[in-house]
Chain A
Amino acid sequence: MTAQGATDDMLLEVRGLTKHFTLHGDIYSKLAGEKAQVLTAVDGIDFHIRRGETLGLVGESGCGKSTTARLVTRLIEPTAGQVRLKNEDLLAFSPRRMKETRKDIQLVFQDPYSSLNPRKTIMHILSRPMEIHGLARSWNEKRERVLHLLHRVGLSVEHIDRYPHEFSGGQRQRIAIARALSVEPELVIGDEPVSALDVSIQAQILNLFRDLQEEFGLTYLFIAHDLSVIRHISDRVAVMYVGKIVETAPASALFDKPLHPYTKALLAAVPEADPDKPPPRLTLKGEVSTPIDPPPGCRLCGRCPRELPVCAEVEPQLVDVGGGRQVACHNL
Chain B
Amino acid sequence: MPETVPETVLELDDLTVRFRLRRGDLTAVNGVSFAIARGETFGLVGESGSGKSVTARAIMRLIPNPPGEIQRGRILFGGSNVLDKSDAEMRALRGRHIAMVFQEPMSALNPVFTVCEQISDALRTNLGLSRREARERVVELLSLVGIPSPQKRLDSYVHEFSGGMRQRVMLAMALSCNPGFLIADEPTTALDVTIQATILELITGMIERLGMSLLFITHNLGVVAHSCDKIGVMYASHMVELGEKREIFANPQHPYTVGLLNSIPRLDIQARHLTPIAGSVCNMMEPPSGCKFHPRCAHAMDVCRREVPKLKEVAPGHHAACHLHDQGAAA
The residues of A with any CB-CB pair to B shorter than 8 Å are 21, 23-26, 37, 58-62, 65-67, 110-114, 151, 154-156, 158, 161-162, 166-172, 174, 191-192, 195-204, 206-207, 210, 225-229, 231-232, 251-252, 255, 265-267, 269-277, 279-282, 284, 287-292
B81 within 8 Å of A (CB atoms): no
Instruction: Report A206 CB to chain B, min CB distance, Å.
Output: 6
Whether B191 contacts A225 by the Cβ 8 Å rule is: yes
Which residues on the B side are within 8 Å of A225 (C-beta)?
A: 164, 189-193, 196
Closest to B168 in A: A61
19 contacts between A and B (CB under 8 A): A65-B162, A110-B190, A155-B281, A158-B284, A158-B285, A166-B67, A171-B48, A192-B163, A196-B189, A202-B265, A207-B274, A228-B264, A232-B274, A273-B225, A273-B249, A273-B264, A277-B225, A288-B146, A292-B149
Which residues on A sit within 8 Å (CB–CB) of B161? 62
Q: A225-B192, A271-B226, A292-B149 are in contact. Are A198 and B47 (CB under 8 A)?
A: yes
On whether the beta carbons of B219 and A198 are closer than 8 Å, the reply is yes
B104 & A113 in contact (Cβ 8 Å cutoff): yes
Q: Which residues of B contact A281 (CB under 8 A)?
A: 197
Please report the total number of B residues contacting A with Cβ < 8 Å. Answer: 85
For A292, what are the chain B residues with a Cβ–Cβ distance below 8 Å?
148-149, 152
Interface residues of B (CB under 8 A from A): 19, 21-23, 45-49, 52-54, 67, 103-107, 114, 116, 143, 146-149, 152-157, 160-165, 168, 186, 189-198, 201, 219-227, 245-246, 249, 259-261, 263-268, 270-277, 280-281, 283-286
Return the chain A residue nearest B275 by Cβ: A203
Task: Contact check, A23 vs B156: say whether CB atoms are below 8 A apart.
Answer: yes
Known A-B contacts A24-B156, A66-B163, A271-B222; A207 and B198 likewise in contact (beta carbons under 8 Å):
no
In the complex the two chains form, is A61's CB within 8 Å of B195's CB? yes
Q: Roughly how many angstroms separate A67 CA and B19 CA in the complex, as a whole number?
A: 38
Number of A-B contacts (CB under 8 A): 233
B48 adjacent to A168 (CB under 8 Å): yes
How many angstroms from the CA of A270 to the CA of B149 in the assembled complex? 26
B153 contacts A23, C-beta separation under 8 Å: yes
Given known contacts A61-B195, A66-B162, A207-B274, is B225 in contact with A271 (CB within 8 Å)?
yes
Contact: B223 with A110, CB < 8 Å? no
> Contacts A61-B165, A113-B104, A199-B263 hold; do A232 and B219 have CB atoms under 8 A apart?
no
Q: Which 4 A-B pairs have the closest CB atoms?
A: A61-B164, A170-B48, A203-B274, A271-B222
A112 to B279, CA, bound (A): 26
The distance from the CB of A125 to the nearest CB of chain B, in whole angstroms, is 17
CB <8 Å contact, B219 and A61: no
User: B149 and A290: CB pair below 8 A?
Assistant: yes
Query: Which listed residue, B227, B265, B277, B280, touches A228 by the CB 8 Å rule?
Result: B265
- CB < 8 Å: which of B226, B261, B280 contacts A151? B280
Q: Is the CB of A207 within 8 A of B273?
A: yes
B104 neighbours in A (Cβ, 8 Å)? 111-113, 169, 172
Report A-chain residues with C-beta under 8 Å of the C-beta of B53. Answer: 168-169
- List the A side residues contacting B192 at CB < 8 Å: 58-61, 225, 266
For A191, the chain B residues whose CB sits under 8 A away are: 163
Instruction: Give B284's nearest chain A residue, CB to CB.
Output: A158
Bound CA–CA A291/B45 (angstroms): 36
Cα–Cα, bound, A184→B146 (Å): 39
Whole-angstrom CA separation of A240 from B103 in the bound complex: 25
Q: Could you tell me the distance between the alpha carbons of A167 and B225 in the complex, rounded to whole angstroms? A: 28
Quick one: given A271-B223, A288-B146, are A162 and B48 in contact (CB under 8 Å)?
Answer: no
Rounded to whole Å, the gap between the CB of A73 and the closest CB of chain B is 16
Would B249 and A274 count as touching, CB distance under 8 A? yes
Q: Give the Cβ gap from A263 to chain B, nearest Cβ, in Å.
A: 11
Min distance, Cβ B225 to any Cβ of chain A, angstroms = 5
Most-contacted residue by chain B among A161, A265, A266, A275 (CB, 10 A)? A275
Whole-angstrom distance between the Cβ of A116 and the nearest chain B Cβ = 11
CB–CB A231/B48 < 8 A? no
Find chain B residues with CB under 8 A from A167 CB. Answer: 49
Minimal Cβ-Cβ distance residue in A for B46: A198
- Pairwise interchain contact A60-B194, C-beta atoms closer than 8 A: yes
Q: Are B106 and A111 in contact (CB under 8 A)?
A: yes
Q: Which residue of A lies closest to B49 (CB)?
A: A168
Interface pair A192/B190, CB less than 8 Å apart: yes
Residues from chain B with a CB closer than 8 A to the CB of A113 are 104, 106-107
**Contact assessment for B165 and A62 in the assembled complex, using a CB-CB cutoff below 8 Å:** yes
A37 contacts B152, CB within 8 Å?
yes
Chain A residues near B116 (CB-CB < 8 A): 26
Distance from B77 Cβ to chain A, minimum over Cβ atoms (Å): 24
A272 to B266, CA, bound (A): 9
Residues of A within 8 Å of B259, CB to CB, are 200
**Smallest CB–CB gap between B201 and chain A, Å?**
8
Task: Tell me which residues across on chain A come within 8 A of B196, comparing CB atoms.
Answer: 225, 269, 271
